[in-house]
Amino acid sequence: MTIRRISLPLLVALALAGCANDGTADSAGAPASAPAAAPSATAPSSATDALPMPVPSEVLSPGAGATTLTGTITAGVEPNCLLLDDHLLIINDAKLRSAAKAGATVTVTGRVEQGMMTTCQQGTPFVVTTLRAN
């Protein structure tokens, strides 16, 4: 009778231990080779790597739907991210971008791109077509 009491918990423990096996052992019970590590996210290697993807030139031309904003540029929490009010400034022209610095008071013209993906994690993307320092 005591053998059954000892054997039953032992069998239950072994069965549960077998269920906990995640399939990383081969049929002989030896651990399988570790799976290859997933690629890790790395920081951008240069300042331009953190910038959003280029916008086609037809999107850059001001026209219907163009908006003008005036205010002081602030730095975002991510590198190379510039904000004007609640708008994330997307400046693809290098000459315009050189004039856009945190603390500068500017007037920008462009348009809101609600669906645009960026690495900045804040602000509504605003594609800048013109920028004038005040």
Please report, in angstroms and rounded to a whole number, the separation of the first and last CA atoms in the chain. Answer: 93
Mean confidence (pLDDT) of the chain: 74
Asked whether the beta carbons of 76 and 120 are under 8 A apart, the reply is yes
The 10s digit of each residue's pLDDT in 81-132 is 999 999 999 999 999 999 999 999 999 999 999 999 999 999 999 999 999 9
Give the three-state DSSP class for 59. helix
| Pick from 72, 104, 65, 103: nearest CA to 87 | 72
**pTM for the structure as a whole:** 0.54
Asked whether the beta carbons of 73 and 111 are under 8 A apart, the reply is no
Across the strands, what pairs with 108?
69, 131
Going from N- to C-terminal start, the domains of the chain cover 53-133
Q: How far apart are CA 126 and CA 65, in angstroms?
A: 12
CATH homologous superfamily for the domain 53-133: NigD-like N-terminal OB domain (2.40.50.500)
